[in-house]
Structure 1
């Protein structure tokens, strides 16, 4: 007789509850039915799995088989959930992990349109740092990731958008008065707030500034709060600064050509649920760009002394 999934379920229930009666109640069966299924399992194994008829303690072999049964049942239950999810495509779930600036700036209008098109799909968003996003994706806690992370085995990866790095400071900061000639040497006399994205800037002129920093902050919202409080200046991608942040300036750097790259990672299409495929397609169609738009005008450099100033829109 082949081992059946119901044998494993009965065995696990008896091992978990320590009695046939409690296991039967949990499974919605009679104690005699559970006893017969367990006896068939032990007959197939050719050895007892419990040390006594009371079923309160496993044999050493029973302990080993219990661990294997747990793994097989967990795998089977995940498979069933995936099949059921596929059969309910119009009411699927998608778990999306994104960095905070992407979640704040890029996702709101995109998801508004997506939810209008797919009203039955439930989208769960987690905004956190790239390292945590990578762990969530690897552990199966996310279906789609939007972050500055490298290739991962078993996942498709495509570039979604890039945007420039620049200095973030209060609007009344001295650097904001002469930003058109801003370079790394301009930052040396100012307190600097380091963050996780700094690792993506290999410029030699930036390294002494980074090494001298005594404050490291991971979360974008916290970084901006520190800048607002006068704790220092920082380097962030342009899209981290929303147009309504009127008290902050994003200042481009003359000698920094490195751009933040945001990638979309997901399982291969053949392994995606219909809901996940739909959201991946929506992200792909979005044509996101870090370039200025009508709602986010480009900043114009201040005119040199004595020249007419073209002015620039306040953010």
Structure 2
């Protein structure tokens, strides 16, 4: 039995893309070449790995092989990029996972910057909730992730992201330099039950308030639309600022609570060498953006002064 990396790469591409045609486009190969690679892998293993349906599904064996295939390709990429780094040519693809708020508010600007600053590194984005991001990092689906308030360990802090009140522009407190959460007690409070709820509960607790949201909505866009409609107010992190329409305003909030946005790699295997290059580039970009906006209060998350490990 002989299993090789091109076979595993084709297998993973078909699983991730949901079909052979889309996988071929992702790999820059013909569909027949992808089909041949997967078929040869199945012959080597003497059993089918995929159910040829729409979308393609893994068989029971395919599901067992999948995490090992991801780890094998991740290890191969690390070896290739260590060699590239030693040769002074940082190239390759980094698969970056992040939560929806970070993907929508922070990542687009970073992608534009990385495209200019590190043109030989391709960044592919995977959006998921906090548990999905952690799983993808552990099983090799993602090479790196922007995680929120991770426990002590390797990581490079990109930003300190503070929480603010989201109010209609005609709200009586919208023009204040900051607002106390207690002053919003009479407003219906809206919440999106995601990873931020723990910190929003903490803000209420620090103020001596009972956390009793009037409405819970899953989607961030729905939450913002409800504030626009005058249904209530909410609390969002600063990284959401670019998503806020002109008839709403983010106002600094008391008590002050923030979260750390940290770029990190997998916990139990070597990092893709490009991760630190991307992190250093990102911190420099965010610091420059924050400096240029310093004349205008609360224009975005406060960034770390330099790329540094999180102890």
1:171 maps onto 2:205 in alignment: no
CA contact (8 A) 2:187 2:233 kept: yes
Secondary structure of 2:108's match? helix
Cα deviation for residue 193 of structure 1 reads 1.0
Task: Quote the residue 1:187 is aligned against.
Answer: 184
Shift of the 72–258 alpha-carbon distance from structure 1 to 2, 3 Å rule, reads closer
Cα deviation for residue 199 of structure 1 reads 0.8
Structure 1 unaligned runs (5+)? 10-25, 39-54, 57-65, 300-315
Q: TM-score, normalised by structure 1?
A: 0.60
For residues 222 and 241 of structure 1, the distance between their equivalents in structure 2, rounded to whole angstroms, comes to: 16
CA contact (8 A) 1:193 1:214 kept: yes
CA contact (8 A) 1:192 1:232 kept: yes
Task: Quote the residue 1:141 is aligned against.
Answer: 141
Task: Quote the residue 2:255 is aligned against.
Answer: 256
Task: Quote the residue 2:58 is aligned against.
Answer: none
For residues 295 and 114 of structure 1, the distance between their equivalents in structure 2, rounded to whole angstroms, comes to: 23
CA contact (8 A) 2:99 2:127 kept: yes
Mapping of residues 73-88 of structure 1, within 5 Å? 74=69, 79-80=75-76, 83=79
Cα deviations by residue, 1:25-75 (Å, 9 ceiling, x for unpaired): x549xx9xx9xxx9xxxxxxxxxxxxxxxx99xxxxxxxxx99x9699846
Cα deviation for residue 233 of structure 1 reads 0.8
Q: Larger radius of gyration, structure 1 or 2? A: 1
Cα deviations by residue, 1:123-151 (Å, 9 ceiling, x for unpaired): 11133433332232223222222231322
Mapping of residues 120-159 of structure 1, within 5 Å? 120-151=120-151, 156-159=154-157
Number of residue pairs aligned between Structure 1 and Structure 2: 242
Structure 2 unaligned runs (5+)? 5-38, 48-60, 299-311
Q: TM-score, normalised by structure 2?
A: 0.61
State the Cα RMSD in Å. 4.3
For residues 76 and 257 of structure 2, the distance between their equivalents in structure 1, rounded to whole angstroms, comes to: 46
Task: Quote the residue 1:160 is aligned against.
Answer: 158
Cα deviation for residue 282 of structure 1 reads 1.7
Cα deviations by residue, 1:93-138 (Å, 9 ceiling, x for unpaired): 1111223443344333433232224333321113343333223222
Task: Quote the residue 1:216 is aligned against.
Answer: 216
